[in-house]
Chains A and B, each alone.
Chain A
Amino acid sequence: MSAFVKLLEAGARGPREGSVHLPETVLDAVLGETGAVAARIGLGEEVLAVRGQAPGTGRRYELPAGRDSFWLETSGGSEPSELLRMAGGVVLGAWAVRDQLKRARFAERRRLWEMESLRAIGEALGGSLEPTHIAEELLLNATALLDARRGEVWLAGAGAPALASAVRGAAAADPCADGSCLVAARVGGGVLTAAEAASLPDSGLLEGSRLAVPISGRRGRLGVLAVAEREVRGGTAPFSPTDAETLGLFAAQAAVALESAVLHREAVERLRLERELELAAVVQKELLPSALPELPGFELAARNQSSRRVGGDVFDVIEAGDGLFLMLGDVAGKGVPAALMAASVQSAVRVLMLSQPPLVEVARQLHAHLLRTTPVNKFATVFMAYLHADGQLEYLSAGHNPVVVAGADGTTILLSASGPPLGLLPAATFTSSRTELARGALLLAYTDGISEAVDAHDEEFGTRRIAELAAGARGTAPAAVVDRLFTAVEEHTGGAPLHDDRTVLAVRRAGV
């Protein structure tokens, strides 16, 4: 069978014989008929196939193929017959048409894939509240769709810190010097340096092989989406402004998703903290005495009101010998830190009271405990006393507000501090004093949330008003005195929200 017929048959069978492409089949037929040592076939500038050493100064022939102009170069051998050239042109023309159709079909499907990818990324991002998932979906879709060889998502900018802790395995590699930018996801290798990610302008970066756009939301910059090396068959090509627009679309979708994820996490965190605070408030309430011990000939009452969910005021009444141990304290600060320290003070006092040491020793040990266990700027004012059954009162005030003692005759005395607050000055010493709670007398201890409560003109309620209230409450039960004091303070402030915790402890010795 002639080379001419074999060639036509090969063309009819398809674009390749096994792993041999049709242009190579044509060359094989040419070499077989002419005995040439080398040959090549091309279309325009493109070389389609080469056999043997490519001829540099060989003879060149036209292969007629309709609108396409294929050429054949041979080296050595005879001239290919006109029939062979015609057959070569026919099968190559058919091959070219088929190849163009295939490319067109591929391009059409690729456009469909692009649209599907954009839809899928929108769906994936919109349906996720997990920043790790969002960053990875964003990276994989953007990198694949832009045919990039490398890609990465950075967390960088004002909104990044809120995300950094939420992204699992945020790369420790290449972070900014101040830790404000991190790689959240990466494929194929790095694209930007940390400094470039941190300082990317709003207009982004388009410089040949690299393309980067900011991921910005309503709260500012969240991160950067970057890709590098756009692949084409057999090499790479520069990114185009259209690629930049596509990447910008991805970044805009991701920004919305990331912001939603941050808001969600913040809401969940707020809820968790709220629950923890609720629990802390319950624990603190249970730490304070729910019922006070009784001492014949005396009546006691106490009330605590926190300005926040938990507070830094603490009080206790513990049976001690023939009488009671009284304690009222105020920890510097507010909220959870103050509450933790107040709980620590109360626990320590209860442990110390197992052996009921002298007040000076109680103060010394509490002072040492606070110095050891709390920051330097944390301290507590504490009033403590042993009240004996015969009315004798041994007391010690470590920086606490003056305690009012109102006698049955209407006179008042103030039991003032004899030393600094506990936990403040390492070298501090403390001394106790004695007095008597005479029959009918009232002892009123309070924290500064009572004495320093201010009215609309910024005037404090003050110790004077407390003393007057105590003096004017002769014969009144301590519980009623506490009520009156809280009501008076409430009226003074005009019902304004509490700025500080309020605690009152009242003890009245029965009259004659």
Chain B
Amino acid sequence: METFELRLVESDGSVAVLEVTGYINNEGGEAISREASRLLDSGIRTLLIDLHATRIINSIGISLLLEVLERTLDLGGTLAFCCLSPSIAKTFQIMGLAQYARLFPDRPTALAQLRGSS
């Protein structure tokens, strides 16, 4: 289980949706970080990361997501997550990601709100 996969499933020029499957560890976190940098460099300022197929993240993965968050905020952008498992939601809360990133229960709600405010 938990083979890592990252897919850019949606991008309309203002909001990009990344779907993550599997373990967010060093390798997975760096893949997300690279893709997020590419999208930010291309001018996208709102990133939504869908974690419905992710059940596990370690502290290296979290530190990499924190860096993505910092970079996005530095550029005045928004980093959002949706579809978090309860344990990952708790982890985000403890590790400070929930403080600055936006969290949504599902993707349609996230997209509606992000597009409405972007």
Interface string of B61-76 (1 = CB under 8 A from A): 0010010001100110
Bound CA–CA A120/B87 (angstroms): 8
Report A8-43 residues with CB < 8 Å from chain B CB: 14-19
Check: B56 CB closer than 8 A to any chain A CB: yes
Chain A residues whose C-beta falls within 8 Å of the C-beta of B60 in the assembled complex: 147, 231-233
Chain B residues whose C-beta falls within 8 Å of the C-beta of A187 in the assembled complex: 1-2, 23, 56
Check: B114 CB closer than 8 A to any chain A CB: no
Asked if A140 and B26 sit within 8 Å, CB to CB, the answer is: no
A260 to chain B, nearest CB (A): 21
A239 to chain B, nearest CB (A): 14
With most chain B CB atoms within 10 A of its CB, the pick from A15, A106, A185, A235 is A106
Chain B residues whose C-beta falls within 8 Å of the C-beta of A140 in the assembled complex: 55-56, 87
Report B33-91 residues with CB < 8 Å from chain A CB: 37, 40-41, 55-60, 63, 66, 70-71, 74-75, 87, 90-91
Asked if B90 and A120 sit within 8 Å, CB to CB, the answer is: yes
Bound CA–CA A98/B57 (angstroms): 26
Check: A293 CB closer than 8 A to any chain B CB: no
Query: Which of A109-117, A205-213, A414-422 forms contacts with chain B?
Result: A109-117
Check: A510 CB closer than 8 A to any chain B CB: no
A445 to chain B, nearest CB (A): 64
User: Which secondary structure characterizes the binding site on chain A?
Assistant: mixed
Asked if B74 and A16 sit within 8 Å, CB to CB, the answer is: yes
Check: B94 CB closer than 8 A to any chain A CB: yes
B92 to chain A, nearest CB (A): 10
Check: A296 CB closer than 8 A to any chain B CB: no
Asked if A116 and B23 sit within 8 Å, CB to CB, the answer is: no
Report A156-195 residues with CB < 8 Å from chain B CB: 185-188
Check: B95 CB closer than 8 A to any chain A CB: yes
Tell whether A109 pairs with B95 under 8 Å between CB atoms, given A14-B74, A16-B70, A233-B26: yes
Bound CA–CA A409/B105 (angstroms): 95
Name the residue on B nearest A140 (C-beta).
B56
A363 to chain B, nearest CB (A): 61
Question: Which of the residues A110, A188, A232 comes within 8 Å of B2, measured between beta carbons?
Answer: A188
Tell whether A147 pairs with B58 under 8 Å between CB atoms, given A120-B87, A186-B1: yes
User: Which secondary structure characterizes the binding site on chain B?
Assistant: helix
Check: A133 CB closer than 8 A to any chain B CB: no
Asked if B95 and A233 sit within 8 Å, CB to CB, the answer is: no
Check: A149 CB closer than 8 A to any chain B CB: yes
Question: Which of the residues A15, A116, A143 comes within 8 Å of B58, measured between beta carbons?
Answer: A143
Chain B residues whose C-beta falls within 8 Å of the C-beta of A19 in the assembled complex: 37, 40-41, 71
Bound CA–CA A451/B56 (angstroms): 69
Bound CA–CA A110/B63 (angstroms): 10
Chain A residues whose C-beta falls within 8 Å of the C-beta of B37 in the assembled complex: 19
Bound CA–CA A15/B23 (angstroms): 29
Question: Which of the residues A17, A116, A147 comes within 8 Å of B59, measured between beta carbons?
Answer: A147
A478 to chain B, nearest CB (A): 70
Asked if A144 and B57 sit within 8 Å, CB to CB, the answer is: yes
Check: B96 CB closer than 8 A to any chain A CB: yes
Interface string of A100-141 (1 = CB under 8 A from B): 000001100110110010001000000000000000000011
B54 to chain A, nearest CB (A): 11
Asked if B63 and A106 sit within 8 Å, CB to CB, the answer is: yes
A496 to chain B, nearest CB (A): 57
Name the residue on B nearest A15 (C-beta).
B70
Chain A residues whose C-beta falls within 8 Å of the C-beta of B74 in the assembled complex: 14, 16-18
Bound CA–CA A143/B94 (angstroms): 18
Bound CA–CA A186/B26 (angstroms): 18
Tell whether A149 pairs with B26 under 8 Å between CB atoms, given A18-B75, A110-B59, A144-B58: yes
Check: A357 CB closer than 8 A to any chain B CB: no
Bound CA–CA A2/B94 (angstroms): 43
Asked if B94 and A116 sit within 8 Å, CB to CB, the answer is: yes
Check: A234 CB closer than 8 A to any chain B CB: yes
Asked if B40 and A233 sit within 8 Å, CB to CB, the answer is: no
Chain B residues whose C-beta falls within 8 Å of the C-beta of A145 in the assembled complex: 58
B79 to chain A, nearest CB (A): 14
Interface string of B6-46 (1 = CB under 8 A from A): 00000000000000000101110000000001001100000
Name the residue on B nearest A236 (C-beta).
B26
Bound CA–CA A199/B23 (angstroms): 29
Tell whether A144 pairs with B56 under 8 Å between CB atoms, given A105-B96, A106-B63, A116-B94: yes
Bound CA–CA A110/B59 (angstroms): 7
Asked if A113 and B1 sit within 8 Å, CB to CB, the answer is: no
Chain A residues whose C-beta falls within 8 Å of the C-beta of B70 in the assembled complex: 15-16
A132 to chain B, nearest CB (A): 12
Asked if A188 and B25 sit within 8 Å, CB to CB, the answer is: yes
Chain A residues whose C-beta falls within 8 Å of the C-beta of B75 in the assembled complex: 18
When A and B form their complex, which 3 residue pairs have the shortest distance between CB atoms, in order from nearest?
A231-B26, A187-B2, A147-B58
B residues touching A (Cβ–Cβ < 8 Å)? 1-2, 23, 25-27, 37, 40-41, 55-60, 63, 66, 70-71, 74-75, 87, 90-91, 94-96
What are some 16 contacts across the A-B interface (CB < 8 A)?
A: A16-B74, A18-B75, A19-B40, A106-B63, A106-B66, A110-B59, A113-B95, A140-B55, A143-B56, A149-B26, A185-B1, A187-B23, A188-B23, A231-B26, A231-B60, A233-B60
For the A-B complex with A16-B71, A140-B56 known, give 5 more contacts whose Cβ atoms are closer than 8 Å.
A19-B41, A116-B94, A144-B56, A144-B57, A187-B23
